[in-house]
Structure 1
Amino acid sequence: MYRHILIATDGSERAAKGVEHGFALARQLQAKATVLTVSEPINTGFDDALGWSAVATSLPDFQNARDEAARKVLDAVTGQAQQAGVTPQLLHVADRYAAEAIVDTAEREACDLIVMASHGRRALGRLLLGSQTSEVLARCGVPVLVIR
C-alpha cells in the first residue's frame, strides 16, 4: 500500500509518538522511512524591514546551535529506529517553516504517506489540529496520518 513514508518530528514527546507509529507502519509494510526535522527561520520580532533575520541566520553561533539541536533530534530518532528494526533516511531542513518543508520534502522524495503528530490543545483548540498539521493537510496531495 505505502512504499515510502515521511515521518516528521520536532523532537517533542508528542512527536516521538508519531515517530513510533511511523516506524511500526514502515516495518509492517516493509516501506522505506524518511525522517524529517525542520529548523524554522529566526524570528526577530521585526517585520524584517531592516533585514535583521538575514543577519541573524548567518551568524555561526546560531547556525551551530540550530544544527546541534537538529542532530540531537535525529540521534534520538536513530535509537527509536533501531528498536523498531527500521533503517530510515534522516533529513534536516534549515530556515524553512515546518509545514512548507514537510510538503516540499514529501513531493521531492516521492513519499506516499506523511506521518506526523498534532500537539494537544485546550478548549476551542481541541476542535482544531495544530497549525502546522492543518497547513500540511491543506497544501499536500499526499495522505497524512495524524497521531494524537
Structure 2
Amino acid sequence: MYQRILVATDGSVLSKKAVHSAIELAAAINADLVALYVVPRYPVSYFEGGISVSSQDVGRIEKQWADKGQAVVDAVRQAAQAEGVKTKAVIAHADLVAESIMAAAKKHKCDLVVMASHGHKGIKRVLLGSETQHVLTHSSIPVLVLR
C-alpha cells in the first residue's frame, strides 16, 4: 500500500491526533514515517511585523521557533520508534507551509500525507485560509485529513 508517510505537525492537540493516527497506520502497514514541522520565518519588513526588530533578536526568535519544531518532531520520532516505525524527523524553514509540506513529501519520496484540519467553515475559513485545504487541492499524492 504505502511505503513512506509524511505527517505534518505543528505540535497542537489536533495535530497530535493526526500524528497518533499516522503512527498507527505506518505500524499497521509496515511503512516508514517522515515527521515534518514547518518553522516560519520572522517577518522583517515594516508592513509584515509592524515594528522594527534587531537582527540579533530575529535570529534568537527564529532559533527558539526552530528548537520548538525540533522538539516536536523528535517527540514524534520517539513515539513512532516505540511502535517499531522507522521515522525521520524533518524541519523546514519557510513562510509557505502548504508548499513546504508538498515539497518535503516529494523530496522524501512519500506516497501519503497525513495532516489535521481545524475544520474552519464559512467566513472564518476564508479569512484564516487553510494550509490543509491547499495541500489537499494541490498535492500530487494522496492526503489523509483528520479532524
Read off the aligned partner of 1:124 and give its amino acid letter. Answer: G
Structure 2 unpaired stretches of 5+ = none
Structure 1 unpaired stretches of 5+ = none
Map of 2:25 onto structure 1: 25
Deviations 1:98-126 (A, max 9, x none): 111101111111111000011133x6369
Percentage of identical aligned residues: 33
Q: Is the 8 A contact 1:4 1:113 kept in 2?
A: yes
The whole-number CA distance in structure 2 between the counterparts of 1:39 and 1:74 is 12
Deviations 1:64-119 (A, max 9, x none): 21221112212321342144332311100013421111011111111110000111
The whole-number CA distance in structure 2 between the counterparts of 1:22 and 1:125 is 30
Compared with structure 1, are the counterparts of its residues 110 and 12 closer, same or farther at alpha carbon in structure 2 (3 Å cutoff)? same
The whole-number CA distance in structure 1 between the counterparts of 2:90 and 2:29 is 21
TM-score by length of 2: 0.82
Deviations 1:10-54 (A, max 9, x none): 001100000011111111111111110001122357446xxx79x
Correspondence list, 1:19-58, <5 A:
19-43=19-43, 46-47=46-47, 56=55
Shift of 1:133: 0.3
Shift of 1:60: 2.9
Compared with structure 1, are the counterparts of its residues 68 and 47 closer, same or farther at alpha carbon in structure 2 (3 Å cutoff)? same
